[in-house]
């Protein structure tokens, strides 16, 4: 058995307390063997990570993104969702080639590893390229092909739906089981009712979960209500799209009845505060969802609407915006934001991780607290929510493997990834003109 030890640090426990402890990992199994003060000496570790002066946290889980959109970072800003997608993003994405998705995804994963994210949920195109990037980089992911049927003829629309189901079947369990999949219709307004109904039934037969954008803007919600005299999530429920395996992105404009429905069905909601602010979509009622018992995770959404993939940034936004939205400084406190970005996200997307305890997945971010903006450290959980930046992460571990050691990413060639992404982004922009 190969043993990895994270020695000399303080550890964030599942109950959000912090204690001095070493973490001993069975790196072959990718599991935590033991957590305890001074236990490193009891194990003859093959590899040790110095965590002195550091806080060992569960690896963060970016529960909703489009990683390859790093290529479109800064491509189009300062517009609301609908015109941003229609006028800028979708025309650019129409020119995407598989190599672009590979390059953009590797850049996204590099950024995530550097900022302590060990798992992500991704909805995009050219999924085999995304799988290959996950395989090479060592992170975990729930992946899917995003379906849009509007403005397509029936044959093309059916092919898009079939691709999403086929990809979900083919790649589940890839990369030593670090890849899980889902059927991913883009949203309730961009995929037609018959397609949603039939494909959801097919997905259920094969035990494939669903992930889709829901209740993001009033422009998306209002037409559904007008056409159907029904709230969007009631419509989704009628189509069988809300189970405890499924998770929706955004949930900004949700009524109390919709929140109760999400809680009853066990469907996760992924809060994307930066994207919601940048596109002026609105403020999700996060504290009300938590109060109702909804599993809430945190996501960056794509880098074109954020504009980074730093989940520490995001969890701070979640805490801040949660207070503003509730007009209550006690709403979305530090513990709630940190839990949402770790255990909440992992549970919502159905990936292991999010907790440091014996037997849990060995996914960690080791945060160096020795920086001026982190002094003094009265309360480490407060720091995680309000003061830590992604660049404070010193080591990143996923599935018992060290992905970044002393700020050097070991699984990706950083220079090559950044250079390739720059080249692909430039040529994509030219092709999209």
With CB cut-offs between 5 and 8 Å by kind, which of Zn ion, ligand LTUXU72L, none does residue 124 bind? ligand LTUXU72L
Helix/strand/coil (H, E, C) string of the chain? CCEEEEEEEEEECCCCCEEEEEEEEECCCCEEEEEECCHHHHCCCCEEEECCCEEEEECEEEEEECHHHHHHCCCCCCCCHHHHHHHHHHHHHCCCCHHHHHHHHHHHHHHHHHCCEEEEEEEECCHHHHHHHHHHHCCEEEEEEEECCCCCCHHHHHHHHHHHHHHHHHHCCHHHHCEEECEEECECCCCCHHHHHHHHHHHHHCCCCEEEEECCCHHHHHHHHHHHCCCHHHHHHHCCCCCCCCEEEECCCCCHHHHHHHHHHCCEEEECHHHHHHCCCCCCCHHHHHHHCCCEEECCCCHHHCCCCCHHHHHHHHHHHHHHHHCCCCCCCHHHHHHHHHHHHHHHHCCCCCCCCCCCECCEEEEECCCHHHCCCCCHHHHHHHCCCHHHEEEEEECCEEEEECCEECCCCHHHHHHHHHHHHHHHHHHHC
The interface with ligand LTUXU72L within residues 143-162 (CB under 6 A) comprises: 146, 148
Residue 408 CB contacts under 8 Å (≥ 6 apart), including other chains = none
Nearer to ligand LTUXU72L, 37 or 222 (CB): 222
The interface with Zn ion within residues 256-315 (CB under 5 A) comprises: 301
Shortest distance, CB of residue 13 to ligand LTUXU72L, whole angstroms?
34
The interface with ligand LTUXU72L within residues 38-77 (CB under 6 A) comprises: 66
With CB cut-offs between 5 and 8 Å by kind, which of Zn ion, ligand LTUXU72L, none does residue 54 bind? none
Nearer to Zn ion, 34 or 303 (CB): 303
Q: Number of residues interacting with ligand LTUXU72L: please give it, by CB under 6 A.
A: 16
Q: Is 378 within any annotated ligand binding site?
A: no
Count CA atoms within 13 Å of residue 19 on its CB side. Answer: 13
216 binds ligand LTUXU72L (CB under 6 A): yes
Shortest distance, CB of residue 423 to Zn ion, whole angstroms?
25
Nearer to ligand LTUXU72L, 33 or 66 (CB): 66
Contact window for ligand LTUXU72L (CB under 6 A) among 81-89, 102-110, 111-119, 382-390: 81-89
Nearer to Zn ion, 140 or 213 (CB): 213
With CB cut-offs between 5 and 8 Å by kind, which of ligand LTUXU72L, Zn ion, none does residue 305 bind? ligand LTUXU72L
Among 73, 142, 180, 186, binds ligand LTUXU72L (CB under 6 A): 186
183 binds ligand LTUXU72L (CB under 6 A): no
Nearer to ligand LTUXU72L, 212 or 364 (CB): 212
Nearer to Zn ion, 252 or 412 (CB): 252
Shortest distance, CB of residue 333 to ligand LTUXU72L, whole angstroms?
26
123 binds ligand LTUXU72L (CB under 6 A): yes
Peptide bond into 23 cis (omega under 30): no
Q: Is 211 within any annotated ligand binding site?
A: no
Beta-sheet strand order (sheet of 247-250): 211-214, 247-250, 268-271, 296-298
Q: Is 99 within any annotated ligand binding site?
A: no
The interface with ligand LTUXU72L within residues 265-324 (CB under 6 A) comprises: 275, 301-302, 305
Q: Number of residues interacting with Zn ion: please give it, by CB under 5 A.
A: 1
89 binds ligand LTUXU72L (CB under 6 A): yes
Q: Is 216 within any annotated ligand binding site?
A: yes
Q: Is 335 within any annotated ligand binding site?
A: no
Q: Is 229 within any annotated ligand binding site?
A: no
Shortest distance, CB of residue 271 to ligand LTUXU72L, whole angstroms?
12
Nearer to Zn ion, 301 or 363 (CB): 301
Rounded Cα distance, 313 and 6, in Å: 25
Q: Is 253 within any annotated ligand binding site?
A: no
Q: What residues make contact with Zn ion under the rule CB under 5 A?
A: 301
The annotation places the binding site for Zn(2+) at 64, 66, 213, 301
The annotation places the binding site for substrate at 93, 186, 216, 301
Q: What residues make contact with ligand LTUXU72L under the rule CB under 6 A?
A: 66, 81, 85, 89, 93, 123-124, 146, 148, 186, 213, 216, 275, 301-302, 305
């Amino acid at each position: 058995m190969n043993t990895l030890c994270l020695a000399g640090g303080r550890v964030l426990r599942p109950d959000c307390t912090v204690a001095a402890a070493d973490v001993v990992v069975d790196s072959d199994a990718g599991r935590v063997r033991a957590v305890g003060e001074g236990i490193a000496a009891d194990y003859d570790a093959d590899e040790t990570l110095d965590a002195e002066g550091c806080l060992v946290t569960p690896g963060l889980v970016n529960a909703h993104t489009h990683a390859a959109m790093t290529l479109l970072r800064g491509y189009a800003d300062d517009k609301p969702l609908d015109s941003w997608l229609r006028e800028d993003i979708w025309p650019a994405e129409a020119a995407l080639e598989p190599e672009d998705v590979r390059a953009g995804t590797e850049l996204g994963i590099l950024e995530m590893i550097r900022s302590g994210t060990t798992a992500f949920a991704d909805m995009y195109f050219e999924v085999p390229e995304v799988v290959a990037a996950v395989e090479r980089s060592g992170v975990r992911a729930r992946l899917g092909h995003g379906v849009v049927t509007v403005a397509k003829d029936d044959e093309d629309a059916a092919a898009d739906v079939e691709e999403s189901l086929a990809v979900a079947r083919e790649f589940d369990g890839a990369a030593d089981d670090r890849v899980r999949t889902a059927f991913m219709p883009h949203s309730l307004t961009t995929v037609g009712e018959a397609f949603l109904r039939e494909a959801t039934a097919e997905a259920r037969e094969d035990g494939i979960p669903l992930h889709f954008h829901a209740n993001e803007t009033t422009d998306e919600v209002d037409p559904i209500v007008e056409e159907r005299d029904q709230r969007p999530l009631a419509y989704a429920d009628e189509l069988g799209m809300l189970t405890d395996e499924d998770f929706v992105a955004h949930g900004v404009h949700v009524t109390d009845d919709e929140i109760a429905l999400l809680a009853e069905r066990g469907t996760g909601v992924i809060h994307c505060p930066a994207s919601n602010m940048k596109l002026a979509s609105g403020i999700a009622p996060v504290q009300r969802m938590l109060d109702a018992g909804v599993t809430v995770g945190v996501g960056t959404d794509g880098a074109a609407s954020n504009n980074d993939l730093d989940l520490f940034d995001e969890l701070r936004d979640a805490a801040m915006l949660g207070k503003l939205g509730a007009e209550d400084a006690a709403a979305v406190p530090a513990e709630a934001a940190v839990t949402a970005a770790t255990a909440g996200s992992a549970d919502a997307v159905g990936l292991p991780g999010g907790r440091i305890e014996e037997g849990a997945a060995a996914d960690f971010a080791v945060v160096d607290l020795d920086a001026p903006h982190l002094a003094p450290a009265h309360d480490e959980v407060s720091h995680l929510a309000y003061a830590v930046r992604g660049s404070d992460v010193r080591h990143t571990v996923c599935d018992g493997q060290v992905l970044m050691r002393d700020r050097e990413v070991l699984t990706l060639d950083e220079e090559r990834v950044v250079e390739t992404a720059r080249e692909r982004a430039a040529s994509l922009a030219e092709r999209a003109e």
